[in-house]
Structure 1
Amino acid sequence: MTTATPESPESPEPPESPGAQPEPRRSWLKEHSELGVSVLLLVLGLLVLTDALTMDVDIAQRGPIGPKTVPIAVGAGLLLIAVLLAVDVLRGGRGEAESGEDVDLSEPADWRTVLLLAGVFLATAVLIDPLGFPVAGALLFWGAAFTLGSRRYDRDPLIAAALSLLTYVVFNNLLGVPLPGGPLMGVL
């Protein structure tokens, strides 16, 4: 009768159970899934470049930078990033998982909050013409704060009104971007 000694270099592997499945191999595309982002950037870059190069510009160019310059630079940048990302992924580079966010992925999504925020945005889009940006913007800021959990009824409407008026004055009066004023059109 012989017994196995602990010094033996080869230890027998445990027998596989008859119902055990071999570990599935990941496909090449699944291992290189970041290439999808690269393809998306490539398509977007080609679209931006095609649109920029086929743009019909009627106005005379003033200075060295015309209306085609920025879209061409953005399109070329997108193509460059797509190529660099593809090369990195093919060389074995992998994106790192988010570690800084405090999100419990086992919890279900808070659809009530998402739908309420969507309703606030939709109401703003509908009310901006008849009420003007200052009133619709105040409702937007206050509605978003309320939906996200703030219950300071004494402070939130005042902050929302101040933010909305400040945004209106900056865009309408200082930057020259016309926003609908509504009833406050003559006042501001």
Structure 2
Amino acid sequence: MTSPATPVVRDRAELGFAALLGVAGAVVVLDALRIQAAYSQSDPVGPRTMPLVVGALLVVCAGVLAVDVWRGGHGAAEGGEDVDLGHPTEWRTVVPLVAVFVAHVLLVDRLGWVVSGTLLFWGSVWALGSRHPVRDGVVSLLLSLGTFYGFYVGLGIYLPAGVLEGIL
């Protein structure tokens, strides 16, 4: 039997989240420690610093959350805007969305960003209920081309061209 001063942890989901947050932080820290880079006078901070800071902050946040939950604290229930939290998951939307994301991950290197990004955007809006395939396809293609050239020209980041290698 617990004393009145000892809080009872009823919902362990928040402890699970704290554990997941701590594991993610530990993975980031361990991965950052494996970065092999020489430090120089022009760059005394080096590439390890940010991942180490982020990983350490994740671990600290996980610890603070775990202590708060053990002391009886809990997150406020999501009020939602127009979401009925008692309503079950709409699997007819979730499964196609997951399939589109998995297909994108598997196809982006082979087909290239423009083709796989177009499929990603078009498949996402279709899974979310839009039934205007031509308009959605055109908008998806424009979004994909815009992000491709935005990353390449604007940021200098190369995205794979895939099957459109000679065209783009």
The unaligned stretches of length 5 or more in structure 1 are 1-26
Q: Please, which moves more after superposition, 90-99 or 102-111? A: 102-111
Structure with larger Rg: 1
Higher helix share: 2
TM-score by length of 1: 0.69
* RMSD of Structure 2 on Structure 1 (CA): 2.7
Report the residue type matching 1:172 in the other structure: Y
Q: Please, which moves more after superposition, 162-171 or 56-65? A: 56-65
Query: What's 2:133 paired with?
Result: 153
Q: Deviations over 1:111-144 (max 9, x none)?
A: 2222222332333344434432212211221121
Aligned length in residues = 161
CA contact (8 A) 2:21 2:62 kept: yes
TM-score by length of 2: 0.76
Report the residue type matching 2:93 in the other structure: T
The unaligned stretches of length 5 or more in structure 2 are 1-6
CA contact (8 A) 2:9 2:69 kept: no
Query: What's 2:164 paired with?
Result: 184
Report the residue type matching 2:122 in the other structure: W
CA contact (8 A) 1:32 1:90 kept: no
Q: Deviations over 1:149-170 (max 9, x none)?
A: 1122342111111000001111
Matches within 5 A, 1:23-172: 28-30=8-10, 34-53=14-33, 55-61=34-40, 62-172=42-152
Identity %: 48
Query: What's 1:20 paired with?
Result: none
Q: Please, which moves more after superposition, 104-113 or 153-162? A: 104-113
CA contact (8 A) 1:168 1:179 kept: yes
